[in-house]
Structure 1
Amino acid sequence: MGNMPDVLLLVGRLNYVWTNTESLLIYMIAHQLGVDKEAAIVVFLTLNTTRARIDLVERLAKRSATPAADRGFILDVMGRLKRVSRLRNKYNHSIYAFNEKGDIASTQLMRLVETDDSILYGKVEQMDQREMRQLEKGIAEIADISKMLWGFIHASPALKDAL
């Protein structure tokens, strides 16, 4: 069972590292479109989902004008970001069940899965030590992605000026 303060601390850290990392997409958009930071912020905020922002960065990277090294780096990092976004979405779009001691016993994902003849919803997962380790691993992965993006940003002369 997950001790509520420990789980909430990890979910808070997950959201903190996610938000800071997602905001770096502004610089990736600026770099790929050749616009200033203000214009990139407008584009970033106009796209109202994380998935749309990642898709834009990936699609821009796939243009023939994108240097191969940049393309490979961007597609790799965006792929990693999409994979770890599942963990973030899980903890932001779940209902938490508590045991009699007030500890978080499980999460129930609030998502529909529709088949030809039925609707499934609410996958339940126990909030155990394995899940706590998954949260910690996800936080570390997002932090690593952030470091990689910062390295890319600092290596780009055009992006250094935007900082």
Structure 2
Amino acid sequence: MAVFVSKLPPKPDFDMLAAAAPASADRRTFVLALMGNLICSWSNNESLFIYVLMILLRTDEASAAVVFATLNTTRARLDLIQRLAKIRVTDKALSKNLTALIERFSESTKVRNELNHCMFIFDSAGAITHTQSMRLMETRASLRFGEIKALDESRLQEMVRTTHEMTKINREIWDLLPRLEAHVYGVKPQGVPRDAA
């Protein structure tokens, strides 16, 4: 009779982790705060694209939000915005600005997705040391699951940089919105003097 060997990982020693957790609380709180800031910044930026969609569809906020929510992935939402921009935005500089913002947001999304779709690995002291991706990594030769990456200082700095980049993107989307609206509706942007060209 064949011996069955479980493929499950070993169950963590929760009592040991609970006893050790207070010693690593400051580090864990710092890491979780970085993740929280990044995810909050990302969510605010994604939500701002509702207004881009509202302008491009020439509709109201509620209708744009319905379209936005009906598309169930960020990629699908951004694809729709880019396609609408091709038919609505004839100003090359404005189109280039919008495309650049979408590309930068998409780059930031990779970091957010990595942290939002993973399992966190703790050491015996209760510190978060690694992440294990919940994505399949497919190459021509193989299919792997669960890439493990260290949550080291370099990775934490990447989170800080990404959050700063999201803050910049947020400000730039806010600056773009009145310009986009004025272009799509054929009016002068708010705040531009009447005698300005």
TM-score, normalisation: structure 2:
0.74
1:67 aligned to 73, 91, 99, which one?
A: 91
Whether the aligned pair in 2 keeps the contact of 1:96 and 1:107 (CA below 8 Å) is: yes
What are the ranges of 5 or more consecutive residues in structure 2 without an aligned counterpart? Answer: 1-23, 191-197
Deviation per CA, 1:49-94: give whole Å up to 9, x if none.
1111111111222226532222111111000011110000000001
Alignment-derived partner of residue 95 in structure 1 = 119
The 5 Å alignment of 1:14-163 reads 14-63=38-87, 65-116=89-140, 118-155=142-179, 156-157=181-182
Shift of 1:43: 0.8
Q: Which moved more, 1:76-85 or 1:47-56?
A: 47-56
Q: Which of these two proteins has the greater Rg computed from alpha carbons?
A: 2
**CA 1:151–1:117 in 2, change beyond 3 Å: closer, same or farther?**
closer
Q: Which residue type is aligned with residue 36 of structure 1?
A: D
Tell me the C-alpha RMSD between the 2 structures: 2.1
One-letter amino acid of the counterpart of residue 68, structure 1: K
Higher relative contact order (CA 8 A, sep 6+): 1
Asked if the contact 1:61/1:70 (under 8 Å) is kept, the reply is no
> Contact 2:56–2:88 (CA<8 Å) still a contact in 1?
no
Q: Alignment length, in residue pairs?
A: 160
- Give the 3 Å change call, closer, same or farther, for CA 30–66 of structure 1 in structure 2: farther
Provide the TM-score with structure 1 as the length reference.
0.89
